[in-house]
C-alpha cells in the first residue's frame, strides 16, 4: 500500500527528520516523502538549517497543506510547523506534532524561554497526536532534558531541536504502522501561554527582584539570532550572582568596565556580562591573546556564535592563532562546531594551512578525532576541498612547517 510521509516545519529538527527519512525510505517503492516548509523559510541556511534549501538540494517534492488533505495514507509530521492544523480537513488521522515541553505543561508559545523564567530545572520534548486544541492530543513519547544554570533559551532551543528529531526518528516505524500506544494528557498540571505572554518589542531588565531572577531574565532572553537583553547600551550575554549582599537601591550600578556591570538587586549584587563577541573576534584575529582571554571572562562566550555561525575557535583556527586555539579548547570550546554551511574545524585548519603553510592545527584536529570524510551541508568533505585547492593529503599531513 502506498504511503506518504509529509514533514511540515522548519529548522534543524525538520532537516534532521527529513535526512533520516530519505536515507531510510527513499528507495522504498511504497513510500513517498514530501515536505511543507514554513512561509518564513526563504531557502537560506542561517543559524538554523533551511528545510526549503534542503528540499531543493535533494529534489524533495514541496507541497501545500491543501494538497495533502486528500491523501488517505498519510503520515503527517509537524516539526516546528507554524500553522494550526485543522484535523477535520484531513482524510488521514495519522497526524503528529513535536512540542518543545513536557506536556501537559507549557502548551503554546515560548516553551524554551518560560521554563527558565519560572526557574524550572528540567524541560523536554513531547511527541503527541494532533487534536483540535493547541498541543492537547494524546502523548506518544516524551524525553526530558536538564536545564543547566548557565543555559540560555537559545541553548535550550538548540538542544530541543536535536532531541525532537531523535524522538521522531525513534518512533517513526510505529507511527507508520499505526502500532503505537498513547495516553491522554492530564488536566491537572496543564498550562498554556499565548503569544502575548512575552512582548519581545519592549523587553527590559527588571532589577527589582532577586539576583537569581535577574540572571534568569538575562539567559531567558539571550537568543542572539533574535536579540539579547540590552542594558546601559550593551547587549547582555549572561549574569552571575555574587556573594555580596546588596546595600544600595535595586538597579544601582556599582561598577562598570569593558566586560561587565555590577549592579545591586533586592538581595545580592549581580554581575551582568556584556556582549563582547565582536571585540573578542578582533583580538583573536590580531593575535592579541591577552585581551582575547580577558574577553572570555564570562565562559558563556567561548561557544557563542555570530550570524555566520563563527565561534571564537573557528576564528582562531582560520587565523592560525595556535595559542588561542589551545586555550579555547582547554576552556571548553566545542571542537565539533560547524558554521552555518556545515564547515568544520578541519576545513578551517586547511584554510590556515593554505595561507601560511603551517599544518599544526590540521594535525591537532586530526589528533582530536576530526575526520576528513565529515561532510558539510553541501555534502562535500575535505577530500573534495583539498582537490579543489590542489593540495595533496600527504602534504598537509606531513610535518613540514613553512613559516
Is 80 a binder of ligand TYD (CB under 6 A)?
A: yes
Is 110 a binder of ligand TYD (CB under 6 A)?
A: yes
Is 47 a binder of ligand TYD (CB under 6 A)?
A: no
- The three cell numbers locating residue 100: 518543545
From 107-115, 184-192, 324-332, 363-371, give the range in contact with ligand TYD by CB under 6 A: 107-115
Give the full edge-to-edge strand order of the sheet including 139-146: 61-62, 31-37, 3-9, 74-79, 95-99, 122-129, 139-146
Between CA 268 and CA 258 the distance in angstroms is: 22
From 109-117, 128-136, 308-316, 332-340, give the range in contact with ligand TYD by CB under 6 A: 109-117
Inter-axis angle of helices 360-367 and 345-356, to 10 degrees? Answer: 160
Is 161 a binder of ligand TYD (CB under 6 A)?
A: no
Is 57 a binder of ligand TYD (CB under 6 A)?
A: no
Q: Are strands 122-129 and 139-146 parallel, antiparallel or unpaired?
A: antiparallel
Q: Residue holding cell 586530526?
A: 366
Among 8, 113, 298, 361, binds ligand TYD (CB under 6 A): 113
Q: Is the dihedral of CA 134, 138, 143, 144 positive or negative?
A: positive
Is 226 a binder of ligand TYD (CB under 6 A)?
A: yes
Is 157 a binder of ligand TYD (CB under 6 A)?
A: yes
Between CA 103 and CA 114 the distance in angstroms is: 14
- The three cell numbers locating residue 71: 491523501
Is 118 a binder of ligand TYD (CB under 6 A)?
A: no
From 222-230, 237-245, 265-273, 279-287, give the range in contact with ligand TYD by CB under 6 A: 222-230
From 127-135, 221-229, 251-259, 377-385, give the range in contact with ligand TYD by CB under 6 A: 221-229
Is 275 a binder of ligand TYD (CB under 6 A)?
A: no
Longest dimension (CA), the chain: 73
Instruction: Indicate the residue among 177 and 204 with the shorter CB distance to ligand TYD.
Output: 204
CA distances (Å), 283 to each of 86, 97, 272, 292, 385, in order? 53, 45, 22, 5, 28
Query: What are the backbone angles phi and psi of residue 257, rounded to the nearest 5°?
Result: -140, -165
Among 44, 118, 148, 200, binds ligand TYD (CB under 6 A): 200
Instruction: Indicate the residue among 203 and 391 with the shorter CB distance to ligand TYD.
Output: 203
> Taking the complex as a whole, how short is the minimal distance between the CB of residue 365 and ligand TYD, in angstroms?
32
Residue 318 CB-density burial (10 A; 0-12 exposed, 13-18 middle, 19+ buried): buried
**Chain residues that interact with ligand TYD, rule: CB under 6 A:** 80, 110, 112-113, 153, 157, 200, 223, 226-227
Amino acid at each position: 500500500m502506498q504511503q506518504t510521509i509529509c514533514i511540515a516545519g522548519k529548522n534543524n529538527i525538520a532537516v534532521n527528520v527529513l535526512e533520516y527519512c530519505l536515507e531510510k525510505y527513499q528507495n522504498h517503492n511504497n513510500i513517498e516523502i514530501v515536505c511543507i516548509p514554513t512561509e518564513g523559510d526563504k531557502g537560506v541556511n542561517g543559524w538554523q538549517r533551511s528545510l526549503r534549501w534542503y528540499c531543493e538540494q535533494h529534489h524533495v517534492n514541496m507541497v501545500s497543506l491543501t494538497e495533502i488533505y486528500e491523501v488517505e495514507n498519510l503520515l503527517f509530521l509537524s516539526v516546528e510547523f507554524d500553522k494550526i492544523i485543522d484535523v477535520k480537513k484531513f482524510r488521514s488521522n495519522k497526524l503528529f506534532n513535536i512540542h518543545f515541553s513536557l506536556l501537559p505543561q507549557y502548551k503554546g508559545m515560548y516553551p524554551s524561554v518560560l521554563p527558565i523564567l519560572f526557574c524550572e530545572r528540567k524541560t523536554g520534548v513531547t511527541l503527541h497526536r494532533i487534536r483540535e486544541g493547541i498541543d492537547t492530543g494524546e502523548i506518544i513519547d516524551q524525553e526530558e532534558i536538564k536545564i543547566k544554570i548557565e543555559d540560555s533559551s537559545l541553548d535550550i532551543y538548540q538542544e530541543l531541536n536535536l532531541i525532537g528529531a531523535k524522538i521522531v526518528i525513534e518512533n517513526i516505524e510505529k507511527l507508520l504502522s499505526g502500532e503505537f500506544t498513547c495516553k491522554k494528557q492530564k488536566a491537572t498540571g496543564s498550562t498554556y501561554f499565548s503569544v502575548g505572554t512575552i512582548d519581545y518589542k519592549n523587553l527590559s531588565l527588571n532589577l527589582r527582584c532577586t539576583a537569581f531572577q535577574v540572571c534568569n531574565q538575562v539567559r531567558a532572553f539571550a537568543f542572539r539570532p533574535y536579540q539579547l537583553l540590552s542594558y546601559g547600551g550593551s547587549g547582555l550575554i549572561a549574569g552571575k550572582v555574587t556573594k555580596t549582599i546588596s546595600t544600595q537601591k535595586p538597579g544601582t550600578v556599582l561598577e562598570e568596565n569593558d566586560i561587565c556591570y555590577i549592579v545591586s538587586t533586592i538581595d545580592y549584587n549581580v554581575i551582568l556580562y556584556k556582549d563582547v563577541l565582536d571585540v573578542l573576534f578582533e583580538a583573536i584575529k590580531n593575535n592579541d591573546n591577552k585581551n582575547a582571554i580577558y574577553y572570555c571572562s564570562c565562559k558563556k562566550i567561548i561557544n557563542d556564535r555570530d550570524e555566520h555561525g563563527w565561534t571564537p575557535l573557528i576564528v582562531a583556527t582560520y587565523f592560525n592563532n595556535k595559542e588561542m586555539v589551545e586555550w579555547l579548547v582547554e576552556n571548553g570550546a566545542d571542537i565539533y562546531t560547524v558554521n552555518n554551511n556545515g564547515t568544520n574545524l578541519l576545513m578551517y585548519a586547511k584554510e590556515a594551512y593554505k595561507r601560511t603553510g603551517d599544518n599544526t592545527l590540521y594535525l591537532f584536529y586530526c589528533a582530536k578525532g576530526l575526520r576528513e570524510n565529515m561532510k558539510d551541508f553541501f555534502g562535500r568533505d575535505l577530500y573534495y576541498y583539498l582537490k579543489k585547492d590542489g593540495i595533496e593529503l600527504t602534504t598537509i599531513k606531513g610535518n613540514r612547517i613553512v613559516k
